Amino acid sequence: MRWKDIAPCSSRLLPAIAPLFQKPTVIWLGLSLAIALLYCLPALYTAFSGEYVVQDDARQHVFWMQRFTDPGLFPQDLFADYFQSVAPWGYTQLYQGAVSLGLDLWTVNKLLPIVITLTATAYAFGTVLQLVPIPPAGFVTTVFLNQTFIERDDIVSATPAAFFYPLFLAFLYYLLKKAWFPCVLSIVLLGLFYPQGVPIMALVLGFRLLQWQQGRLRFSQMSADYWLWGIGWLVALGVLLPYLLQDSAYGPVLTPTQGQDMFALSSEGWSRFFVEDARKYWICGKRSGLVPTEWCENDLKILPQIWLSLALPVILAFPGRSRLTRLSTPGISLLFQAAAASTICFAAAHLFLFNLHLPNRYTEHSFRILVALGMGIAIALLLDRFPPSRRQRIRSGILLGVSVWAIVTLMLYTFVKDADDDPIGHYVRGEFPQLYAYFRGQPKDIQIASLSREVNVFPSFAQRSIFVGGEGYTLPYHMGFYNEVRQRTISLIEAQYSFDPARVYAFLLQYPIDFWLIERTMFTAQWIQKDEWLKQYALETTAPQTTLKAGQLTVIQTLAKTCTTLEVEEFQVLDANCLRQVLKPMAVDQALEIHRDESERTSKSQTKSG
């Protein structure tokens, strides 16, 4: 059987239900896109509300792309090189192509979410119409899908995970339309932007070979299904093979045994993974759990979608007199196949823990999509059970309620975010432009060391390299990278809170930093006891606590006035070369011995990670 001879489900359904809905499909699609755009506006306003505004995740995943504009930026930068090495090829090429056209990198990053959102909305609307070709059902689906988008920062960050939504929805849409070429193309594109989604697509194609007929599971009798399965799997293998064969320059992937010994992955760590609560670990964990984390928060904006979607199997099992339900069932099975495929990938990621990255990444995005689709379809099927005389009135009430719900929740979301001082879209606003301008005026090859959280925005706002970064920079999944960052951080903590000039000088000998940024409050009890960054390393160094108990000035505090080149409020920028010159006559012999010991410790740590 030829592909073009296979009639889509909608061609059988449309004549039966078209008289019920006279509104042109394009109007409902337009309304869906309008709602999507409306939901984008608060984040867009925040993104362009100042010169120094950057999305939280983009600080790590996008900053290094400033090299596209100026190749001289971030020379031999550990963080820039690492994040560049793990960025998917298509994602990198998209930004590089935009920059090559003369577009500003950060402007592209802030505008891309609109394109991604509108594309995902259009495909979600189209997918629903392929299953139950009722335009209002597509509208309801897109409203709740976009509500999910604003709750999370996946799309607003325009990082690789954001592209899963439009590309996976495109895959479902073209699979239902039995459009062979664009379906395969969506697999290729997802492999280039977010490879974790490709195994889900491949498994879905395999499930499509199985059909439930007359109470029995049978293999498909259509040759087109086998052609698509074969080509789809070859394409999936082709796009995944480079990732599977590529060896990271940053050491082996973390093993479960190593992870269980890491504070970073403990219940109190910044990349929390291993928790004692089984429910949190297997179901609700941000990285280890089966479902999106917001599903476990009893949020009234999420619960209706979940319960209506869970009711969908019951609705299909008991169609009653609904002709629409009986005719739609074969197509709707795709949603269950996608859910099963995601769950299998989730289980495989746990079985081969960390080798397939994080288990939750295989379900959280797809489950959000499937629940939104399921809700819209469930409402349409339930509505079809009412007598024709009542459908119009009920439908109008549902659509009015959904529209009001969309606007009210958007207003409440904006108000609550402002009241909680939690920026919409998780955008970070730079509050010290004088600092950024000062460092930006320095040579491009400088390196800035600091334990201040402000250092995390320097690569984005000042375009200069940092010695260590906060939790978003310290990813623990490649041991070579993680051990280097960990050792740097411990060395910096011990040097900053040391009373020994030799130890500080040894640190400056070992690491070629150019500036050392401190805050005056860093040496107070409140900072030392409450700073989250210091807490992460409390088991590995007690230098801050020792300083607090001693009640004396550290070496850095003593020399701060001598070597300060800039003061901005609580911040002091120290010239590292000045520190070296002052400390050299005080501690050169002892410092050299400490330097050798530190080098040996670092070498052993790197050998162990390899």
Q: What is the pLDDT of residues 195-247, one digit of tens each?
A: 999 999 999 999 999 877 666 778 888 888 899 999 999 999 999 998 888 88
Listed residue (163, 127, 124) closest to 147, CA to CA: 124
Predicted confidence (pLDDT) at residue 108 exceeds the cutoff of 90? yes
Q: What is the pTM of this model?
A: 0.89
Q: Which residues, 6 or more positions from 66, have their beta carbon under 8 angstroms from its beta carbon?
A: 73, 74, 105, 459, 463
Q: Which residues, 6 or more positions from 401, have their beta carbon under 8 angstroms from its beta carbon?
A: none
Confidence of residue 14 (pLDDT cuts 50, 70, 90): very low
DSSP code at position 445 = T
- Residue scoring higher pLDDT (129 or 381): 129
DSSP code at position 255 = P
pLDDT at 331: 84
Q: What is the pLDDT of residues 517-558, one digit of tens each?
A: 999 999 998 898 888 888 888 888 888 888 888 888 999 999
Q: Among 138-152, 440-454, 502-516, which is the least confidently predicted range?
A: 138-152
Confidence of residue 301 (pLDDT cuts 50, 70, 90): low
Predicted confidence (pLDDT) at residue 343 exceeds the cutoff of 70? yes
- 602: part of which helix (H) or strand (E)? helix 576-609
DSSP code at position 569 = T
486 contacts 543 by C-beta, under 8 angstroms: no
Q: What is the pLDDT of residues 114-148, one digit of tens each?
A: 999 999 999 999 999 999 888 888 998 998 899 88
The alpha carbon torsion through 109, 113, 115, 121 (nearest 10 deg) reads 170
Listed residue (567, 561, 565, 575) closest to 434, CA to CA: 567
Q: From CA 432, how far away is CA 516, in angstroms rounded?
A: 16
Structure tokens, 44: 């867009």
Q: From CA 346, how far away is CA 289, in angstroms rounded?
A: 9
Confidence of residue 1 (pLDDT cuts 50, 70, 90): very low
Paired strand residues for 219: 210
pLDDT at 549: 86
Listed residue (493, 492, 459, 486) closest to 471, CA to CA: 486
pLDDT at 163: 98
Listed residue (349, 371, 344) closest to 360, CA to CA: 349
- Residue scoring higher pLDDT (430 or 416): 430
DSSP letter for each residue of 449-512: EE-SGGGGGHHHHT--EES---TTT---SBHHHHHHHHHHHHHHHHHHT-S-HHHHHHHHHHS-
The b/e string for 16-27 (b: 16+ C-beta within 10 A; e otherwise) is: ebeeebeeeeee
pLDDT at 457: 96
Predicted confidence (pLDDT) at residue 17 exceeds the cutoff of 60? no
How many Å separate Cα 162 from the centre of its chain? 7
DSSP letter for each residue of 59-102: HHHTGGGGGGT-TTSSTT-HHHHHHHHHS-HHHHHHHHHHHHTT
Burial class (CB in 10 A: 0-12, 13-18, 19+), 151: middle
Our CA angle for 70, 76, 79, nearest 5°, is 90
Predicted confidence (pLDDT) at residue 107 exceeds the cutoff of 80? yes
> Once rounded to an integer, what is the mean pLDDT over residues 290-299?
84
Q: Among 34-48, 260-274, 371-385, 565-579, which is the least confidently predicted range?
A: 371-385
DSSP letter for each residue of 182-203: HHHHHHHHHHHH-GGGHHHHHH
Structure tokens, 180: 């062979």
For 211, phi and psi rounded to 5 degrees?
A: -135, 140
Confidence of residue 389 (pLDDT cuts 50, 70, 90): low
DSSP letter for each residue of 198-253: HHHHHHHHHHTTEEEETTEEEE---HHHHHHHHHHHHHHHHHHHHHHHPPPTT-SB
For 314, phi and psi rounded to 5 degrees?
A: -65, -40
Predicted confidence (pLDDT) at residue 12 exceeds the cutoff of 50? no
Percentage of residues of the chain with pLDDT beyond 70: 83
Q: What is the pLDDT of residues 448-473, one digit of tens each?
A: 999 999 999 999 999 999 999 987 89
- 447: part of which helix (H) or strand (E)? strand 447-450
Mean pLDDT estimate for the chain: 86
Listed residue (521, 499, 326, 407) closest to 150, CA to CA: 407
